[in-house]
Amino acid sequence: MTCVLRATDSTAGVVVRLAEELALVLLNEDSGYFEPVGAWNLSCVIAGSVLADLSLEFRIDTDTETLTLLDAKDTGDPLLDPVLEEIASAPPPVHNAQYWIEKTAQRSDDAMDIILDRLVEKNILDHDSGGFWSLSRQVSRTGTYSADDGSTKLQVKTRVLRAILDEEIPDPRDVILISLIAACDALPLLLTEEEYEQSSERIDLLCKMDLVGRAIGAAVRESQGRPVQQPVGRTRPIPVANLLKLIPNRNLRRGNLSRILTDLYREYGPVFRIKKPFSDKGVVVLAGPETNAWINRNGRTYFRTRDHMADFEQLYGASRTLPGMDGTEHYRMRKSLRAGYSRATLEARLDEVYKFCRASLEKWVPGNPMPGAAACQELMSVQVSQLMVGVDASDHIDDLLSYEHRSLVTHVQKALPKFMMQTPGMARKRKRIFEMLNRVLNAHTPAQRKGKPKDLVDHILSLHASDPQYFPETDLSFMLVAGFIASIYLGSGLGFAVYGMASHPEI
């Protein structure tokens, strides 16, 4: 049995694969990513779900001993066809399901990208730019998926729990799904300890009801505990930056660290090492668009920011900040403040955006040269500060930019000694920044905000009022500054876009 969704015109008529529903079951709404079942275990169970989908398409058949090709014809599905092609082109002898699960698990990252992108296209999941996923508002509200024939299908997690706890008769596809979930030991994460103990016999019964589910589930468990072929990582030594080439670099004399790293990336690739004297312990640099895309997808597994941001946060009087949070805390903060900077919020105030933009552009005199990056940063700071923070802070933007840049270089990059934040100039800038923060708070009293649309600061203050233990008053300062910092980076992005259009008028 398959379910066809009516999410958008581009996805109408596309079935929801077992692999997609498995991802929905394993999605943790609190953390915005999958339940902690282990990377290899997750890869194996995703591979098992792809094989199960091929079985439901009558392309393969499997039992506990062998996996047999029935039909090599493409399904038209990029999630399934690469695996089907590999099975069809494999030379003798015939292999079992465990062998193909381990082979398919090696491409699980690509499969997961396809799965998540599809669920977003079908309006089942929402994707946050920070790399987090959550059920769409429609699915969260109704607990169902809309079908092409006008019927509805219960959210998969609800169906699974009802089959286990309420002993409802499950759909054959759901039996396979439960077998896969049980195979990766994820059921204890969905049930309470008491529910899991009381339902153990029911779970065993469900896992034995379908031959395909039983065979693939057993193969997944075997692959996790005793792999036939464990993937071996092949690496080459990390290249070390040549200091003799680095010293004459003009960007080094200018103190432009970003340009230095860009030059090194172009010469050495996305991963390279910088040794003393530029770093006491030496650092490994990850750079380039491909690396950034990889970190955006896998960073939560391999990296954390808390250790690097602690000193930086103290400069703003905060104990923790959004950039310094990891995992569930970070995701909860993003969700709580999302409405303050959403597209819908901006669309509702487009008239104000045009007004602020025109007012700034009137200061640009035709024929009068100006620094492009600074002009674009000022243009964006006026708009963002008015829309998100409720005050015009353009007169403070130079101080904020200078202070923020110095604090990152001294306390995050550690390229300068920390006492460089204690100079008289930095002390004056810090004083002006906190004067600006007081202006922001004074502009957000109930009387001052009456009749005005809620901005980001309103949402920040509401979060503090609703849960002061999670978001204490000491952490307000950086979050209020964050809106201004965002305008700086938006301005830099705009400047880059303007430069690209001016230097390539054919675009």
pLDDT digits (tens, 9 = 90+) for 18-37: 899 999 988 888 778 887 77
**Residue 161: how many other CB atoms lie within 10 Å:** 18
CATH code matching the domain that covers 18-225, chosen among 3.40.640.10, 1.10.3630.10, 3.40.50.2300, 3.40.50.720:
1.10.3630.10
Q: Are strands 152-154 and 144-146 parallel, antiparallel or unpaired?
A: antiparallel
- CA 426 to CA 424: how far, in whole Å? 6
- CA 202 to CA 178: how far, in whole Å? 11
- CA 468 to CA 410: how far, in whole Å? 30
- CA 62 to CA 219: how far, in whole Å? 10
Nearest-CA neighbor of 53 among 103, 27, 107, 16?
16
* Predicted pLDDT at 8: 33
Query: What are the CA-CA distances from residue 166 to residues 202, 299, 439, 481 (Å)?
Result: 10, 39, 57, 51
* Predicted pLDDT at 58: 92
Residue 469 sits at the vertex; the CA angle it makes with 466 and 470, to the nearest 5 degrees, is: 80
How far does Cα 275 stand from its chain's mean position?
31
Does this model's pTM top 0.85? no
Query: What are the CA-CA distances from residue 342 to residues 37, 129, 249, 388, 454 (Å)?
Result: 32, 12, 42, 11, 12
How would you label 465-475 residue by residue, b for 16+ Cβ within 10 Å and e otherwise?
eeeeeebeeeb
Residue 207 one-letter amino acid: C
Considering the chain, tell me which residue range(s) the CATH 1.10.630.10 domain(s) occupy. 304-503
- CA 364 to CA 486: how far, in whole Å? 23
In contact, 240 and 273? CB cutoff 8 Å: yes
- CA 121 to CA 119: how far, in whole Å? 5
* Predicted pLDDT at 304: 78
* Predicted pLDDT at 279: 58
Whose tokens are 């230095």? That residue is 260
In contact, 472 and 319? CB cutoff 8 Å: yes
Residue 98 sits at the vertex; the CA angle it makes with 96 and 103, to the nearest 5 degrees, is: 100
Question: Which token pair is 81?
Answer: 């066809």
If one looks up domain 304-503 in CATH, what number appears?
1.10.630.10
Considering the chain, tell me which residue range(s) the CATH 1.10.3630.10 domain(s) occupy. 18-225
Task: Give the torsion through C-alpha atoms of 150, 155, 28, 183, to 10 deg.
Answer: -130
DSSP 60-82: EEE-SS-EEE---S--S-TTTHH
- With pLDDT > 70 as the criterion, what percentage of the chain qualifies? 91
50 φ, ψ to 5°?
-65, -45
Torsion sign over Cα 170, 174, 180, 184: negative
* Predicted pLDDT at 146: 64
- CA 268 to CA 281: how far, in whole Å? 20
pLDDT by position in tens, the chain (length 507): 333 322 333 333 346 888 999 999 888 887 788 877 777 788 888 988 999 999 989 999 988 788 899 999 999 999 999 999 999 998 888 888 888 888 888 888 888 889 988 888 888 888 876 678 888 888 888 888 765 445 566 788 888 889 999 888 888 888 999 998 888 888 888 888 888 888 889 998 988 888 878 888 888 878 766 554 555 445 678 888 877 777 777 777 776 777 888 888 998 999 988 876 655 667 888 999 888 888 877 777 777 777 777 788 888 778 777 777 877 788 788 888 888 878 888 888 889 889 988 988 888 888 888 888 888 888 888 888 888 888 877 777 778 878 888 888 888 777 788 888 889 999 999 898 888 888 888 888 888 888 888 888 888 888 888 888 888 888 888 888 777 777 777 888 898 898 889 888 887
- CA 127 to CA 119: how far, in whole Å? 9
SS3 459: helix
pLDDT digits (tens, 9 = 90+) for 252-305: 777 677 788 888 899 899 998 887 665 566 788 899 988 888 887 777 777 777
Whose tokens are 């200061």? That residue is 363
* 284 bridge partner residues: 273
Query: What are the CA-CA distances from residue 402 to residues 324, 344, 430 (Å)?
Result: 21, 32, 10
Nearest-CA neighbor of 389 among 460, 333, 326, 295?
460
- CA 388 to CA 63: how far, in whole Å? 59
How would you label 215-225 residue by residue, b for 16+ Cβ within 10 Å and e otherwise?
bbbbbbbbbbe
Question: Which token pair is 417?
Answer: 């000694």
- CA 391 to CA 387: how far, in whole Å? 8
Long-range contacts: 256-260, Cβ < 8 Å, 24+?
257/409, 257/413, 257/415
Residue 469 one-letter amino acid: Q
